[in-house]
Chains A and B, each alone.
Chain A
Amino acid sequence: MGQSLLIPALLVLAVLSALHARVVAYDAFVRGAREGLETVVSVAPYLAAILTAVALLRETGLMDAAQALLSPLLTRLGLPRESLSVVLLRPLSGSAALAAVSEVMHACGPDSRAARIACVISGASETVFFTGSLYLGAAGVTRSRYAVPAALAAYAAGVIAAAQLV
């Protein structure tokens, strides 16, 4: 129940801080909303590509085969098999994970355990490989040492935590 208040509270906080900083709240909101809409438009082509690929994997039964193959491991971790696609795609691409989460919701219903776990995993992690290559590339790093293992271990810990928490 208390969590329903979060978003109204966030808006109140944002408006109050705008008033405090003497910013015209309405204009600032509209500028931000425009950026939000631009973001949606800019990810649409990626979503089209990824959802096509995910639909292909599902319709041809390849996803089922992969889930069946990995289901002993998933069960041991407490993960529903439907969440496999999200677990695998999340470190690679944000829009792919978004597409996969929406697939799970579609297939299992938004309040199913699989869909909730998919949401928690997706919300609690980042695109490890994209962020990693972006940041290391910007710094001209060629010897990344323990960066990738540490980031992936942290991701795995988050996934296992999500399975226990939901």
Chain B
Amino acid sequence: MLLVGIVYAAATGQAEAAQRALLSGGGQAVELCISLAGTYAFFGGVMGLMRESGLAGGVARRLEGPLSRLFRFEPGEEAALPDVCMNLAADMLGMGNASTPAGLRAMRTMAAAKREPGRASSAMLLFLVLNTTSVQLLPATMIGLRAQAGAANPADIVLPTLLATAVSTACGTGICLLCAARERRR
């Protein structure tokens, strides 16, 4: 990105604009971080409460039933179910620190169960796509950003965000299930 910008600036004869931009970016970053620090501290605190009171574990146990039906595990893969649930529960609550280790463990467990190494199974792909569509219930960073920018109601993007997440998660799940079903028929 930097190179493209500089080449474009040189080609259009705007060395001055380029210099101004290069010297302002760092300052903007520091401002942004300071404005986000308060929100991150607050939501970090709330996450700390949730983590230490085991809330994610509770949500994860409740997800096991529905998810075991959604995922068509190949033999041996179902050992990953608790980690799959833990990962998605932590993601929902916005606890990135807790979700990634569980997610990677789930992927490794599923990978170890396969006969064909290197080939992603349908359950692995569904899990991956669920992880890329964000199932987070509260967009904490965006609320903080809006609060600091002086938005009238910083939290009023929560509902549209939830709906957009629901659409993308439903689409991702649908595509994965369709692809998996088509393959089984063959």
Contacts and interface: CB of A to CB of B under 8 A. Distances in A.
B168 A161 contact: yes
A110 interface: yes
Interface residues of B, number: 93
Contacts of B155: 3-4, 6-7
Interface string A111-129: 1000110011111111110
Interface residues of A, number: 94
Given A120-B160, A150-B176, A154-B175, A33 B42 contact: yes
Given A29-B46, A105-B149, A141-B111, A123 B5 contact: no
A110 B146 contact: yes
Nearest to B39: A36
Nearest to A127: B132
Interface in A124-138: 124-128, 131-132, 134-136, 138
A74 interface: no
Interface string B3-23: 011101100101001101110
Contacts of B169: 154
A75 interface: no
Contacts of A140: 111, 117-118
A110 B156 CA distance: 12
B164 A165 contact: yes
B49 A18 contact: yes
A79 interface: no
Interface string B25-51: 110111011001100111111111111
The 5 A-B pairs at the shortest CB distance, nearest first, are namely: A32-B48, A36-B44, A52-B25, A123-B139, A158-B168
